[in-house]
């Protein structure tokens, strides 16, 4: 540390590091906002799902999901100013089909899972410019849990299956196992320039 060159180099490194941290500061806060929005959104979805299953049984819960899931996403978006939704490589509701960016992130998540990363904490964010407007985009993987198998698993009760077939003739969202990536939360927000 006595050498003036070392001091100069260390000093420059500190400045560079500080610069990098500054440049990423808004992203950190956006990531935190996205995470906390997802906590609320996922909590509301799960609450609706559990209440519906308990009160009306599984087949009726399919209908409740069908009716309520889009509204829950719409409410979360309206309240927050973000666009909040779910997507997947294998969708049930065609409205949830991924756009190009979401598709590439979902593929990336599958590759990260293959490489041994836990699904539970998997996330990705990026600033994306489209038509001259910059967006902050964020995705968080959704792991398949045991409770999900009743409607997304390999063996589905025939009554539930009939309900799914009638509401979603193009349903691809079955055949999942515990630990699979069922899909992802996808959030985006316009950034001020």
Residues that bind ligand HEC (CB under 6 A): 49, 58, 61-62, 65-66, 69-70, 86, 88, 91-93, 96, 142, 144-145, 147-148, 150-152, 173, 182-183
| Contact (Cβ atoms closer than 8 angstroms) between residue 36 and residue 76 | no
- For the bound state, the minimum distance from the C-beta of residue 141 to ligand HEC, rounded and expressed in Å, comes to 10
Q: Could you give the dihedral angle defined by the CA atoms of residues 34, 35, 41 and 43, in that order, rounded to the nearest 10 degrees? A: -170
Find how far residue 84's CA is from the centre of its chain. 9
- For the bound state, the minimum distance from the C-beta of residue 70 to ligand HEC, rounded and expressed in Å, comes to 5
- For the bound state, the minimum distance from the C-beta of residue 145 to ligand HEC, rounded and expressed in Å, comes to 5
Between residues 149 and 191, which has the closer beta carbon with respect to ligand HEC? Answer: 149
CB-based contacts of 58: which residues, under 8 Å, 6+ apart? 150, 151, 157, 159, 160
Between residues 30 and 144, which has the closer beta carbon with respect to ligand HEC? Answer: 144
Between residues 137 and 180, which has the closer beta carbon with respect to ligand HEC? Answer: 180
- For the bound state, the minimum distance from the C-beta of residue 115 to ligand HEC, rounded and expressed in Å, comes to 22
Question: 141: which strand partners?
Answer: 184
| Contact (Cβ atoms closer than 8 angstroms) between residue 37 and residue 187 | yes
Between residues 92 and 137, which has the closer beta carbon with respect to ligand HEC? Answer: 92
Alpha-carbon torsion (173, 113, 189, 148), positive or negative: positive
- For the bound state, the minimum distance from the C-beta of residue 172 to ligand HEC, rounded and expressed in Å, comes to 7
CB-based contacts of 156: which residues, under 8 Å, 6+ apart? 150, 164, 174
Between residues 168 and 191, which has the closer beta carbon with respect to ligand HEC? Answer: 168
Between residues 104 and 133, which has the closer beta carbon with respect to ligand HEC? Answer: 104
Distance CA 123, CA 143 (A): 12
- For the bound state, the minimum distance from the C-beta of residue 130 to ligand HEC, rounded and expressed in Å, comes to 23
């Amino acid at each position: 540390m006595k050498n003036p060159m070392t001091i100069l180099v260390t000093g420059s490194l500190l400045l560079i590091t500080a610069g990098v941290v500054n440049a990423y500061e808004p992203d950190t806060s956006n990531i935190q906002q996205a995470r906390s929005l997802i906590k609320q959104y996922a909590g509301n979805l799960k609450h609706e799902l559990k209440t519906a299953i308990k009160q009306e049984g599984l087949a009726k819960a399919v209908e409740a999901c069908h009716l309520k899931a889009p509204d829950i996403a719409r409410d979360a978006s309206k309240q927050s100013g973000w666009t909040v939704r779910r997507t997947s490589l294998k969708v049930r509701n065609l409205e949830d089909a991924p756009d190009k960016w979401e598709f590439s992130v979902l593929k990336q998540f599958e590759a990260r899972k293959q490489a041994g990363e836990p699904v539970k904490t998997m996330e990705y964010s990026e600033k994306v410019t489209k038509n001259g407007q910059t967006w902050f985009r964020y995705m968080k993987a959704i792991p398949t849990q045991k409770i999900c198998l009743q409607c997304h698993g390999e063996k589905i009760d025939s009554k539930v299956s009939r309900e799914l077939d009638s509401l979603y003739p193009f349903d691809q969202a079955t055949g999942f196992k515990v630990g699979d990536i069922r899909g992802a939360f996808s959030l985006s927000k316009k950034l001020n320039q």
